[in-house]
Amino acid sequence: MSENDLISLYDVPISDKEAILIGRIIALWGALESEVFAQTLTTFDVQEHNELPKEMNNLSFVKVLGLWKARVAEVQEGERAVVLMKQFDRITRLHDSRNALIHGMWNWSMAEPERISTTRVSKKEVITMHFPAGSLEDFHNVLGEINAKIRYPGGVEDFARERANEGFFISRRMLCMLTNSPAADDWLPPRVVPKGKHT
């Protein structure tokens, strides 16, 4: 038996669709953390990084998120504040699910093969979280919406204003297609989110 044959004997017990969704959830969460950090950073008038509070060392997203709530979301006016505070609540509720995806060991049950679970140890406690069929897609869609709303709490008007200020824009997908890049085939057809599914 060759080394390649040995490697093929084990496969993570998640489907291809689940694997894609988990990867996209991780990417969306990373984008979320980055945007929360960047927005919070702009609220400080400092010249050197050592002038920032210790919460901004970026070792704990929860601490940065708390600063974002106080320095970004809560200082907005009217509907913008309402939108951002709602996103804060949603992010807080999803944080345990994110930790389960990132730090957990995947498993499944013969009794419910459509459901996957993760188990991890945190502070000497064994934590198991279950993901029934469809829940990863819901998680993905909610994260996409949160990412959009923390960037554009004023909706389409904010998006249009940003694009107008930036001038010409082309997506990575479109650039790869136009230049016949080898990466052009890496994209699946655009996904359509059913209306009301992710609210």
> What 3-state class would DSSP assign to 107?
strand
**Cα–Cα distance, 177 to 84 (Å, whole number):** 35
pLDDT at site 194: 60
Q: Is the pTM of this model over 0.85?
A: no
pLDDT at site 43: 92
pLDDT at site 190: 67
Question: Which residues on neighbouring strands pair with residue 119, listed in sequence order?
Answer: 105, 128
Neighbouring C-beta atoms of residue 98, cutoff 10 Å: 19
Identify the segments of the chain with pLDDT beneath 70.
1, 4-5, 7-9, 48-49, 190-199
Structure tokens at 184: 């052009």
| Longest Cα–Cα distance in the chain | 67
pLDDT at site 199: 45
What's the one-letter identity of residue 123? Answer: K
pLDDT at site 126: 94
Question: 123 — phi, psi (to 5°)?
Answer: 50, 45
pLDDT at site 122: 87
pLDDT at site 58: 72
DSSP secondary-structure letter at 59?
Answer: S
pLDDT at site 164: 76
pLDDT at site 55: 84
